[in-house]
Amino acid sequence: MRHELFIYIVTGIVLGMMGCLCWSCEPIPLQKAPSVLGDTIPYPSRNSFSVEGIKLGRMLFYEKNLSSNRSVSCASCHVQALGFADATALSPHGVSGRPQLRHSPALINLAWSEKAGYFWDGGAKDLESQAFGPLRHPDEMAMNLKKLPDRLHKEGYAPYFKAAFGDTTINSARIARALAQFQRKLISADSPFDSYLKGNKKALNEFEIKGMQLFDKHCESCHRYKNGGAFFTDYSFHNNGLDTAFAEGHEGVGLGRFRITGDSADIGKFKTPTLRNISETAPYMHDGRFKDLKQVLIHYNIGIKKSKTLASQLPAEGLRLEEQEQQAIIAFLKQLKDEKFIKNKEFKTLSP
């Protein structure tokens, strides 16, 4: 469980440098969010948005000098065209070349995810502390944070840190803040479904509407969109019947939320991911075991495995949907694709 311990230690250090994080409710122009998500973007008061901070975070997100061998950036495993996810189940794109222990999650509407925390088990409570996981992990970026400020100085970043934070000081806390500002702006809420939700009844066809109705009956209890914002997640953790036993393995990644809480009731539970842009973010589940949405529906239909912590929302016998009903749900899910998000030029690579 060294990864978990590392996250807790680093979180303490970072919070010491940054001060207590109190969530601000004061709306400012840069905090504006789509109405279906609640109008305003939550952010820590000690890391409010600025045009310069977002720009710096965007530059750093694509900066390969954040990795020890200068070959890996955040974008290496979080590709915009894929909803800021990775097409490989367990990515080998880190500096070690070894497959990661979990599938790279999509980076969508992250500003609201502090409700559950970050990573599949919620091991980091905010985006600022989350950044240090991949930066330091030996299989991801393996970066020595003491050496990183000098490297970024040499790469010409000092003026950008001055613009964002008032002086040319580069340190790990500011790197994390800038990355967090950019990632909080990765907002997706302009799909055909959103158009339908806002009153355009022609945005979905009859088959897709049938799929939405089936989704409401069988899936919305965890992938929520009706109350509290259309995020398509309940920001909670569930055992969705993938396995009957959960081996600890390396770093205990198979144990899910239990790694963080130590509560046996959390064994095998993983965070509910958003379904926005789901058609672009394959493969699926925390280990990427399902290559397409059809396999996901087969799992929930006839493949649910019983265990002590199986989510109460799931019938142990499966959903038992007809083939056409499964296809209708998939058709609906495809209407969660946000073309503007996938192609937004403001999210694309930017270098100093």
Question: Does residue 332 surpass a pLDDT of 50?
Answer: yes
Report residue 172 as tokens. 């790990």
Query: Which pLDDT score is estimated for 10?
Result: 46
Residue 33 lies in a domain: yes
CB 53 within 8 A of CB 181: yes
Please provide the DSSP assignment of 259-297 as one string.
HHH--GGGTTBEEPPP-TTGGGS-SBSTT--B-SHHHHH
| Residues 161 and 282 reside in one and the same domain | no
Least confident range from 83-92, 275-284, 343-352: namely: 343-352
CATH of the domain at 171: 1.10.760.10
Q: What b/e string do you get for 172-194 counting C-beta neighbours within 10 Å, with b at 16 or more?
A: bbbbbbbbbbbbbbbbbbbbbbb
pLDDT in tens, 85-96: 999 999 999 999
Domain residues for 68?
2-188
Confidence of residue 7 (pLDDT cuts 50, 70, 90): very low
Rounded alpha-carbon distances, angstroms, from residue 86 to 89, 109, 114, 277, 281: 7, 17, 22, 13, 7
Confidence of residue 123 (pLDDT cuts 50, 70, 90): very high
Question: Does residue 17 surpass a pLDDT of 90?
Answer: no
Q: Determine which helix (DSSP H) or strand (DSSP E) holds 52, and give its type and residue range.
A: helix 51-61
Last residue of a domain, one of 188, 210, 245: 188
| Residues 25 and 59 reside in one and the same domain | yes
Taking the whole predicted model, whether its pTM rises above 0.85 is answered as yes
| Residues 178 and 226 reside in one and the same domain | no
Residue 52 lies in a domain: yes
Confidence of residue 227 (pLDDT cuts 50, 70, 90): confident
| Residues 166 and 250 reside in one and the same domain | no
Residue 346 lies in a domain: no
Compute the average pLDDT of residues 42-71. Answer: 97
Residue 350 lies in a domain: no
Last residue of a domain, one of 128, 155, 188: 188
pLDDT cut 90: percent of the chain above it: 87
**Average pLDDT along the chain:** 92
| Residues 183 and 199 reside in one and the same domain | no
| Residues 119 and 237 reside in one and the same domain | no
Q: Which residue is associated with the tokens 């069988």? A: 218
| Residues 213 and 275 reside in one and the same domain | yes
| Residues 179 and 79 reside in one and the same domain | yes
- Please give the tally of structural domains in the chain: 2
| Residues 171 and 217 reside in one and the same domain | no
Last residue of a domain, one of 130, 160, 188: 188
Question: Does residue 22 surpass a pLDDT of 50?
Answer: no
Query: Which pLDDT score is estimated for 18?
Result: 43
| Residues 174 and 249 reside in one and the same domain | no
Residue 217 lies in a domain: yes
Question: Does residue 69 surpass a pLDDT of 60?
Answer: yes
* HSE-up of residue 261 (Cα within 13 Å, Cβ side): 17
Confidence of residue 247 (pLDDT cuts 50, 70, 90): confident
Q: Which of 123, 129, 137 is nearest to 91 (CA)?
A: 137
Strand, helix or coil for residue 172: helix
| Residues 196 and 179 reside in one and the same domain | no
Query: Rounded CA gap, 11 and 164, in Å?
Result: 22
| Residues 184 and 253 reside in one and the same domain | no
CB 188 within 8 A of CB 276: yes
Tell me, rounded to whole angstroms, the distance of Cα 217 from its chain centroid. 25
Query: Which pLDDT score is estimated for 76?
Result: 97
